Amino acid sequence: NHNFYTYANPNRNPLSSTMPEQMNVAMMTSGGLAPCLSSSVAYLVEFWAAALKAGTISGLTIRMYVDGYKGVLIGESTVLSPDSYDACSCLHDVGGSPIGNSRVKLTNIKDCLARGFIKEGETPLEVAAQQLIKDNINVIHTIGGDDTNTQAAVLSKYILDEHGGKVVVVGMPKTIDNDVFPIVQTFGADTAAEQGSLFFTNVVSESSANPRMLIIHEVMGRDSGYLTAATSRKYHDSLKKATFVPGLTTTAKSRDIHAVWIPEINIDIAAEGARLKKIMDETGCVNVFLSEGAGVNDIIAELEANGEEVPRDAFGHVSLAKINPGVYFSKRLATLVGAEKTLVQKSGYFARSAASNPFDRKLIKDCAEEGVKSAIAGVSGCMGQDEDKEGTPIRAIEFERIKGGKHFDTSAEWFKTLLKEIGQN
């Protein structure tokens, strides 16, 4: 097998001069689930197998690291049999990850040590580097969000700097938040919005279960309100196609959205309460779509003022599930609108665990095809539609330009129209 690690001249790009006899490709999925992981694996396998069949490469192994960076650190992986390449197409019908996920930060030595991924005196970067070298990996596809992909870039640089080797890293941008710079649309976000709409189509029927019902539909989204806004749009538009019987209590207005609260919009709870109480008096229910990241700073300030610890994950992100924004807002709003009963329903796990819809599958396919070409050419980067380039082409976007935390653009015409139609200023 061709030794991809070139110690004599580590800055040389081996792929650009001499085609390696054997391409050893690795894949891993990491972070939270999204409706794209299985399809990403399926399309990457498809296009690598096509490259082998076309003679673009002369040999191929595909190694799957189990449970993301955990598998890299503890050396748990499986090599996909060539007989299974074609069978991977069935993954398009499956949600979740076919190889498992985990949340691991390679620079968080304390966390990796506590979880048994490394031993005392070791560093996660060195352990991961040694594993990739041992497995003779040429290319690794990291299917995850901004944290996953920027970590892979750090690992690749570490291998080059400390071991004189090179691993081409081609990331696939997974996040239902759609909050990664400078990518137009991340994988799974459209499917998650569609599934969140489907979720609420059933949940909204609970508004008929009790007089003066308040329903909070809590949607995933830490820093960006994109998913909440897109879910609201899909659900609101679906009602325009529905038919209702005049004279009955179930109406288009009783089943519609009455408020959309996202991090990018300041929430005046008193003013909104007064507005929504009029709707409660008229329809007997109020339905609010709430981004889980909305008002989080206020909740954190309240917890810290009370001397309570703010729970955080390995990346330092606030654990939204534990501080529970939906419950926080429901208690305050229930009093303001005079609700007799309150229901907080979270669509996140339902939405993120679905298989990719046609829109996302097309996006993933296009990025996977270009991603394999990029890997063969020896070019690292995160695949996606580059919004900083004319025509937003799909390309391997330089990792140093990849950054999370992109806010939703509330000036989008469709969003302004949505708020106007539901009566929210």
**164: burial class by Cβ within 10 Å (0-12, 13-18, 19+)?**
middle
Contacts of 184 (CB under 8 A, 6+ apart): 384, 385, 386, 387, 392
Q: Is 177 a catalytic residue?
A: yes
Q: Which of 135, 147, 177, 190 is catalytic?
A: 177
Tokens of 191: 């499917």
Place of tokens 């990792």: 399
- For residue 211, cis peptide bond before it (omega within 30 degrees of 0): no
What angle is formed at CA 162 by the lines to CA 158 and CA 167, rounded to 5 degrees?
50
Show which residues are catalytic. 177
